[in-house]
Amino acid sequence: MKKVLVLMLAFGLFFNAYAQNTKIGFTNADYVLSLMPETKEVESQIAAYEKQFTNSIQQKYQDFQTKVAEYQQNAPTMTEQVRAQKEQELQAENQSLQKFQQDAEQSIVKKQQELYQPLYGKIQTAIDKVAAENGYTHILRAEALLFISDEKKGDISDMVLRKLGVEPPAKTEE
């Protein structure tokens, strides 16, 4: 029993000593990203990429609508067999259009990840440098925090921005 008590006391002292050397900070990477000048260029590239798909989808949809209208106009004069064949063709084209739209959405997401990845890499490098220079042992994502007793204490977002060469906006008192 004495051994367990001594062991618990030693563990408590060790944990207390460890906790005293712990310095925790937090940052909001999306906030930092929004203020980086490169973000506007990335957003512009993504918008242009997305517009290409949008234009293509709109053209394909208009073509499809024209074929549907043509079918509806000529359906009464078609034989049952021709009508069934045209309906199958229209269904296949509709499915193709939906697949193209899904593939376009996936391609846009992939392009976003591809273009933002280097920026998040720069942010991570800046976070690592700020943490090392200021003695932080842990840096958390601000979005993951459930409770912050003092939002000004521990927020390294502005230091990260400065490390990236971006002057953070002035904070207004509330």
Total domains in the fold of the chain: 1
Global confidence as pTM: 0.71
Is 8 within a domain? no
For residues 66 and 106, give the distance between their C-alpha atoms in angstroms, rounded to a whole number. 27
Which tokens sit at 104?
A: 């376009």
Asked whether residue 172 is assigned to any structural domain, the reply reads no
**Residue 32, token pair as written in the block:** 């930092």
d(CA 113, CA 126): 20
**173 domain-assigned:** no
Range of the domain at 48: 21-163
Instruction: Evaluate whether residue 138 is within a structural domain.
Output: yes
Note whether 123 and 29 are within 8 A (CB).
Answer: yes
Look up residue 38 and give its amino acid.
E
169 belongs to a structural domain: no
Per-residue pLDDT of the chain (174 residues; tens, 9 = 90+): 555 444 554 455 445 545 567 888 889 999 999 999 999 999 999 999 999 999 999 999 999 999 999 999 998 999 999 999 999 999 999 999 999 999 999 999 999 999 999 999 999 999 999 999 999 999 988 877 666 665 667 788 889 999 999 988 887 654
Is residue 105 included in any domain, yes or no? yes
Q: Which CATH number characterizes residue 140's domain?
A: 3.30.910.20
- The answer to the question of residue 149 being in a domain is yes
- Residue in 105, 103, 158, 153 with CA at minimum distance from that of residue 130: 158
The span from the CA of 167 to the CA of 160, in Å, is 10
In a domain, 151, yes or no: yes
